[in-house]
């Protein structure tokens, strides 16, 4: 599906990955105890600023801050839009 949103400047649109449903040891986590995922896939990238070149690209899996960005709902799907500075790492 093509996303009809183009982030401006150093902003990035991220599709959050689903929350973990099972621990490393094999125990299932109930929905009420699942934490909000802090990992997602980059689906759109802005052009950057004149003194700041973008380092992430579409398709990258990234880790972002717990309280970073703004949540969006587009065509029934959830996304996050944030500045590239709020992204902590590329996985």
Distance separating alpha carbons of residues 41 and 58, to the nearest angstrom = 8
Query: Could you give the angle at the alpha carbon of 36 between the alpha carbons of 33 and 40, nearest 5°?
Result: 140
Please return the burial class of 75, using the count of CB atoms within 10 Å of its CB with bins 0-12, 13-18 and 19+: exposed
For domain 11-17+37-90, give the fold.
Answer: 10 Kd Chaperonin, Protein Cpn10; Chain O (2.30.33)
Residues 6+ apart with CB under 8 A from 25: none
pLDDT in tens, 8-65: 999 999 999 887 777 778 877 777 666 677 899 999 999 999 888 899 999 999 999 8
To the question of pTM greater than 0.85 for the whole model, the response is no
């Amino acid at each position: 599906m093509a996303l009809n949103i183009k982030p401006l400047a150093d902003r990035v649109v991220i599709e959050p990955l689903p929350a973990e449903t099972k621990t490393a040891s094999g125990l299932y986590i109930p929905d009420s105890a699942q934490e909000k995922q802090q990992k997602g896939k980059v689906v759109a990238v802005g052009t950057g600023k004149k003194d700041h070149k973008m380092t992430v690209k579409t398709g990258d899996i990234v880790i972002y801050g717990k309280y970073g960005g703004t949540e969006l709902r587009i065509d029934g799907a959830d996304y996050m839009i944030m500045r590239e500075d709020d992204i902590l790492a590329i996985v």
